[in-house]
Structure 1
Amino acid sequence: MATSSMSKGCFVFKPNSKKRKISLPIDDYFKKGKNEPEDSKLRFETYQLIWQQMKSENERLQEELNKNLFDSLIEFLQKSHSGFQKNSRDLGGQIKLREIPTAALVLGVNVTDHDLTFRSLTEALQNNVTPYVISLQAKDCPDMKHFLQKLVSQLMDCCVDIKSKEEESVQVTQRKTHYSMDSLSSWYMTVTQKTDPKMLSKKRTTSSQWQSPPVVVILKDMESFATKVLQDFIIISSQHLHEFPLILIFGIATSPIIIHRLLPHAVSSLLCIELFQSLSCKEHLTTVLDKLSLLEHFYSQPLSVLCCNLPEAKRRINFLSNNQCENIRRLPSFRSARFIRAVSELELLGFIKPTKQKTDHVARLTWGGC
């Protein structure tokens, strides 16, 4: 195996499948080492219970933090589309129709799972804004042809009216090689005219009042898209905005400055951009560290079997073995409590004065005579 390289690095060689060690389940891991076999299973079960409670609480907090972000995005999209409909009826607002509402969502490079965030965002948008939410990745859109293919194919799946979906999908399938914004705009106009707004979604409140709900396109990794593809799509879309209400969401891992680096002023001026910041990486990192610390605590501390709610802990105390009781007696906190209580009782009775020699004598009696 060659290890030559033009740059410094670390070379990893995977062992042969025959020599690979079989990983043990985590409950078997608890039974090894210095753990007492009498309570290892109970400690592992207690760890799982406590961790599930912590995980549920952490997920709830994460949802609350994400909810603030998603609510801001939803408000931006609703205002943008309401303004679009107002301008479409106002001759003086026709110039503004060339600006595509764009949300720059800065996720950061340390976010553990961007896909999970986008899935939650897609669900929130479909429930509150529009049924037409499309997510695209750069690897699937190397050129404009593939970009439109992915856009149209996902848009067909988003169609809520099943009958119109089947009819239109047949027509689109027959002309796969003729994808264009003109045909896409025609399809959208046909579908929205056939679809009853009240049937779009029972959950959706605001968008059910819109006869022509917007089309939201999420570019998950905006930095990875080819510059020419982005420029062409934005220019063409701005020309069809009055008949194809488009809203863009850019997923950005680095900095919003990347938008102006990829797009010249003539193109970026066609976007009405608003910045949104996702959760910091500290939240995700803390979750992982808390999990590892919790597992280490239950593995290394035999008395962690008592780390549960108070009624259950009182019940488990009745079943402690002699070894577990001895471990409790050896705890520094337990020794300190007995030492302080013994000194206080002797001083109260007047048997000793608080001198260092007599205090050490009481300590030897307390620790050694238990």
Structure 2
Amino acid sequence: MCADSLQTSSVSKGCFVFKAKKGKPLNPCDYMQPDENDTDATWFRCNTYEALWDKVGEEVEKLQSEVNVQIFTDLIQFIKNAHFGYSSDDALPQQQRPRRVIQEVPTAAFVAGVNVPDHSATFTSVTNLLKDQVTPHVASLLSRDCNNIRALMSNLVSQLMGTDDILSDDEEELNVKKIPATMPVLKAWYQDTVKKRKAHRQDSPPPKLPKKSPRSKRRRSSCLLNKSYNEHPPIVLLFEDLESFNPRVLQDFILMCSQYLVELPLVFIFGIATSVAAIHRILPQDVSSLLSIEKFQAQPSTVYLSQLISKVLLTASNPFKLGHKVFQLLLDIFLFHDFSVINFVKGLQYSLMDHFFSNPLSLLCCNYGEGLNRVRTLNHEQLELFRQAASFRTYVEDQPPDQQRALLLDDKHLKKTLQELLKKLFDYHKAFYPVMESLNILTGHLPHHPLGKQQRELYSMCLEGNIWDCQGYKEAFALLRLTARVELMTILTSCIERLSCSDNPVQEARFQLETFHARLQTLTDGGHEPVEEEPEEDTAQESSNKTERITLRSLQQKLMESVKKTRKPTRYESLVEEVLEYLDSVFRKYLVCPQTLTLHEIFYYNSVADVRRHINASPRAAIQTALNNPFHYLQSEHPPADTEGILATMPDVCIAYKLHMECGRLINLYDWLQAFITVVTGNQDDDDSSLGNKKPDPQLQARFIRAVSELQFLGFIKATRKKTDHVSRLTWGGI
């Protein structure tokens, strides 16, 4: 649209809207890295990514609803019983109404944990459950919206009365902003809502739902009245971040609510990140005594993460896998930064998206049947991409010369080989996860946890290299040799149950473990007796030793030989050694490092640098890079050769930044302005006297002021009281 068509002449000032023309809808496939100009392959990769992420997203939502189901049930039951038998008794006089013995506000101290980024989703689930099962009157209060008591009351009234319960189908719309945000108004609104609910229940025929109209979203009163709520549903106030609230505001609000507890069935939910002691730290004793507090402890985020990894990543049904460095990076961000499962899921989503976006081999990252069909449709250019994979080149080098020639030149032979390699990868994943979990069952209870306590720790070790090469693996098997019979039988039972849930690749191991379990069960008390062995034929040697002369040296040798001799193992110890040797052979067969597999690039994502740059960014380094070398981010077609100097073509903030790097601790604003004008205009021939007498251009002066303000906002300079026309520098270097 041209600029002339946007001009509008008007006598008075006004705001005019120019709607843009509808352009071509965006297609995600257009942003995928092209696969040698093959649009079909790009379309398949994009659709596969969307299908996989939809599946992962459904599993994550299911886990999120199940992880705190018990604590949510207890919380809802507490709120239901908080005002059991409550009645407003509006028909009775004030003197004849029953008085409540306890004047304490029921309060649920919901300890959500230190994973603050996840609190919003948790409290949203709580709010939805309360509105579905208990009451429609739920208000969620945040500290940033409640700086004073007036703002808190305004936010509370707008949330409660904005649900349109106070509106009937015959009334006009109510402007909540014009209603005074006071407790008497809230009391009158609640009583009016109770009356309407009673009148609605007395009507036998349910009212017909009105047709959709422009006001249909604001008239939901009939829908809310149809729900099977209690006659006097409680008013639930949810304080999501209690520790961040102003203590004085919170104290005054609790005192007001305690005075209206007879007229309003109020219930508090305190969202706490640390511990219940935060309530007593914020509220004095005379205020906290007005609360009837009950603690509710949510599941730690580490438990949620372990379930997420076990049911989403450690399964053969999900073809996408994280490499060791990417998996460890996401774990480190979780354990050492925020404990946020939501951020971990976002990192997983980015890894999945980048894998399909940047890796053309991800075309085969799907289920086995679909992968075989896609292999048959690969063209020569796509097969060349598989030939260029590092793991496939290693595989070709280990083949005979005739096989090498066929793999590199014959496309039909390569397709057949790709199908065989895909089958090996899928069979490997089917056996890898149950065997790895069996190893975790064996070693997770050992002292000091040589192979980690959680499955995620063991999985990270398996991704890094062959697990049997770790020092912890040898220590774990040394400790397993000391396991008691009953404990070993319990461990083998758990391993058998885990292996019985898997497919055919590990059924042989399950049968063998069942045999060992039966042999352990048949051992009696005689199992701790030494194994009977044939006596050694050393009678002649003993008789000859009796005639030999005993010297000090010979006695020393006999003592050393006796020390070297070990006692004879018992039957139980021999059976334990046999069991551990077999388990060791199973682990060496099925727990091979995935990085050693051919064409592991199809399923495993290892671009840790991209994940670190996008997920765990360094804003200070990015800001300094942009100010020192703006052409790095501007991506100009003709960048200058000298990026270290100060050029007039640079943005104003970059020029001001480079000039301030040449100054000391205090910067004279006038000298800084003159240097800025000199660089921008390029007038370096004028002497200082003529430059000082010349009045600065207002436009250049405004540009300089804006650049200085941006540097102050970024934290490079600040105002100082030492000199009025100076600013203080906050960065190192050149001081």
5 Å-filtered alignment, 1:8-47, equals 27=29, 30-31=32-33, 36-38=36-38, 39-47=41-49
Q: Among residues 239, 242, 247, which one is paired with 2:262 in the alignment?
A: 242
1:309 alignment partner in structure 2:
367
5 Å-filtered alignment, 1:192-207, equals 192-196=194-198, 198=201, 201=224, 204-205=227-228, 207=229
Deviation at 1:200, TM superposition (A): 7.6
State the alpha-carbon separation in 2 of the partners of residues 150 and 29 from structure 1. 43
TM-score (norm 2): 0.37
Q: Among residues 49, 52, 74, which one is paired with 1:72 in the alignment?
A: 74
Mean Cα deviation higher: 100-109 or 329-338: 329-338
State the alpha-carbon separation in 2 of the partners of residues 314 and 338 from structure 1. 21
User: Which of the two has higher C-alpha Rg?
Assistant: 2
Q: Is the 8 A contact 1:101 1:273 kept in 2?
A: yes
Q: Among residues 380, 383, 395, which one is paired with 1:322 in the alignment?
A: 380
State the alpha-carbon separation in 1 of the partners of residues 174 and 240 from structure 2. 25
Identity %: 39
State the alpha-carbon separation in 2 of the partners of residues 51 and 75 from structure 1. 35
2:272 alignment partner in structure 1:
252
Tell me whether 1:53 sits opposite 2:55 in the alignment.
yes
Q: Is the 8 A contact 2:116 2:340 kept in 1?
A: no
2:167 alignment partner in structure 1:
162
Deviation at 1:273, TM superposition (A): 1.9
Deviation at 1:247, TM superposition (A): 0.4
What do the CA deviations read for 1:217-236 (whole angstroms, capped 9, x no partner)?
A: 11222222221221122122
What do the CA deviations read for 1:235-284 (whole angstroms, capped 9, x no partner)?
A: 22122212211001122334432211110122112212223326623532
For structure 2, which runs of at least 5 residues remain unmatched after alignment? 1-25, 88-96, 202-221, 302-338, 408-735
Give the match's secondary structure for 1:259: helix
State the alpha-carbon separation in 1 of the partners of residues 192 and 53 from structure 2. 52
Q: Is the 8 A contact 2:36 2:382 kept in 1?
A: no
5 Å-filtered alignment, 1:17-166, equals 27=29, 30-31=32-33, 36-38=36-38, 39-82=41-84, 94-96=100-102, 98-112=103-117, 114-160=119-165, 162-163=167-168
Q: Among residues 340, 348, 352, which one is paired with 1:290 in the alignment?
A: 348
- 1:319–1:67 Cα change, 3 Å: same
Give the match's secondary structure for 2:263: coil
In structure 2, give the amino acid aligned to 1:133: V
What do the CA deviations read for 1:313-368 (whole angstroms, capped 9, x no partner)?
A: 233222101243355567687789899xxxxxxxxxxxxxxxxxxxx8x6455445
Deviation at 1:155, TM superposition (A): 2.3
In structure 2, give the amino acid aligned to 1:154: Q
For structure 1, which runs of at least 5 residues remain unmatched after alignment? 1-23, 86-90, 340-359
In structure 2, give the amino acid aligned to 1:54: V
Q: Is the 8 A contact 1:103 1:275 kept in 2?
A: yes
2:252 alignment partner in structure 1:
232
2:190 alignment partner in structure 1:
188
State the alpha-carbon separation in 1 of the partners of residues 179 and 346 from structure 2. 49
Deviation at 1:60, TM superposition (A): 2.5
Q: Is the 8 A contact 2:146 2:152 kept in 1?
A: yes
State the alpha-carbon separation in 1 of the partners of residues 52 and 284 from structure 2. 53
**Whose relative contact order is higher, 1 or 2, with alpha carbons under 8 Å and at least 6 apart?**
1
- Aligned residue pairs: how many? 313
Q: Is the 8 A contact 1:159 1:165 kept in 2?
A: no
In structure 2, give the amino acid aligned to 1:250: F
In structure 1, give the amino acid aligned to 2:191: M
Q: Among residues 188, 211, 214, which one is paired with 2:231 in the alignment?
A: 211
Q: Among residues 274, 282, 290, which one is paired with 1:270 in the alignment?
A: 290
What do the CA deviations read for 1:6-57 (whole angstroms, capped 9, x no partner)?
A: xxxxxxxxxxxxxxxxxx997555327xx54433443233223222222222
Give the match's secondary structure for 2:168: helix
State the alpha-carbon separation in 2 of the partners of residues 160 and 183 from structure 1. 14
State the alpha-carbon separation in 2 of the partners of residues 73 and 182 from structure 1. 29
In structure 2, give the amino acid aligned to 1:287: V
